[in-house]
Structure 1
C-alpha cells in the first residue's frame, strides 16, 4: 500500500465521502456510522470522518505480521524499526520532528510504533 502525500491511500483519500469509501472497501468492522471507523483491509484502515461524513484522517494500522506493507516515496514504513524508517526518510530529504508517540514527517504525515497517519 502506497501513501499518496497529502491525500491518503488508494482505498481512502482525505475529503472523500463515507459512501465512496464503503463502496470500495465495504462496511466497517463495527456497524454504525461513528466518526471513527475501522475497515477490514490489509493492512487495516482506520478512518476519522467529519460531521458531514467526509474522510478527515487516514490511519494505517500496523499488523506486525509481515503481510502487505506500507510505503511512502519508496521507503517501507511498516515491519521495520522506527529509527531506520526515519533515517531513510531523512536520507530522501524529508524533514521530521519528534512527537510524543513517534515522528511528524513533513506536513500531513505522522508515523509511530504501531501506525501511520495521513491528514488531520
Structure 2
C-alpha cells in the first residue's frame, strides 16, 4: 500500500487511467500540484513499476507518461472509489455539495464576486 499512498499519487494514477499524457497535460489536469511534486511523484511511481515514462528524441524533448499493466488493473478500484465519493460526498463534507465534476474528480466551484 505504501507505493500508492501520498497526497498526489491517487490523482496522478486516476488521470493516467484516461490515457497517455504529457507532463504539462498531467500538471494542468491536477490543480494545485507543483512541478517539483509532480516530478517527484512520477519518478516514485515509475520506480515502483506503476508508470511508464517514454522520452522521444525530439527538440524540444517530448516525454509521455502512461500506466503499466499492473497500474491499469487498479482502474476498477479507482472507479469504485469515485462512485463511493459521489454517493457520500455531501454527508462526508458539506462543501462537496457545491463541487462540480472535473475530469471525473470533484473540484470546488469558483465564486463570482
Whether these two folds match at TM > 0.5 is no
Q: TM-score range by the shorter chain?
A: 0.3 to 0.5
TM-score, normalised to structure 2's length?
A: 0.37
Bigger fraction of residues in strand = 1
TM-score, normalised to structure 1's length?
A: 0.35
Which structure carries more relative contact order (alpha carbon 8 Å, separation 6+)?
Answer: 1
